[in-house]
Amino acid sequence: MEQVRRGKTFIISGPSGVGKGTVLKELFKTRDMYYSVSATTRAPRDGEVDGVHYHFMDAEEFRTMIAEDALLEHAEYAGNYYGTPKRYVDEAMDSGRDVILEIELQGARQVHAKRPETVRIFIGPPSWEELERRLVSRGTDTPEKIAQRLQRARIELESADEYDYLIINDTVEKAAAELDAILCAEHCRVDDRLDQILGK
């Protein structure tokens, strides 16, 4: 019986408001991947569903997950905690599915330190002004939160050179096509392919 090839993990980071969610939605029209649903202490936004967009929880529940070593990584962002439940990521990879972790910089660093084979992709805006415009027009955050997110966005953009790939989200279709091309290329890596041919 043919052995199931383990899936790969891809980290997607990028400043708040850059359109990561929209690009991923476009990608998922044609690709079956496991989108890791994070745990967070942030309040749900309008339309967000528990268990679909996030596992919403209070700080105590979050701390319990940390204590039980149930998170692959976790970070504080704009006053809230976010973390990746480890179990589902591993189950998906074991079953041969690729995994998408949509996480910020600190989390990306933690995952890379533990699992250096993880592919890191950064999605950036066409310009700083465009990012400001997108964040404000989203209309979901208070001016204070927007300012906090912009400050964080600056730090994240300046750290984008830690990533393996940089996609500029000018149009959603183009950004999704570039993301798809990266996933294809990563599955054509010679060490992987050769193992496949040689049956390792």
Binding site for ligand 5GP (CB under 6 A): 16, 38, 42, 73, 75, 77, 82-84, 102-104, 106-107
Question: What gap in Å lies between CA 39 and CA 74, rounded to an integer?
Answer: 9
Least Å from the CB of residue 145 to ligand 5GP:
9
Question: What gap in Å lies between CA 165 and CA 25, rounded to an integer?
Answer: 19
| Count of beta carbons in the 10 Å neighbourhood of residue 46 | 6
CB 86 within 8 A of CB 99: no
Return the number of the residue (55 or 192) whose C-beta is nearest ligand 5GP: 55
What dihedral do alpha carbons 27, 6, 50, 82 form, nearest 10°? -90
Name the residue with the smallest CB distance to ligand 5GP. 107
Least Å from the CB of residue 157 to ligand 5GP:
12
Instruction: Copy the structure tokens of residue 33.
Output: 């991947």
What are the residues facing 76 on neighbouring strands? 81
Least Å from the CB of residue 123 to ligand 5GP:
10
Return the number of the residue (43 or 197) whose C-beta is nearest ligand 5GP: 43
Least Å from the CB of residue 57 to ligand 5GP:
12
Return the number of the residue (71 or 194) whose C-beta is nearest ligand 5GP: 71
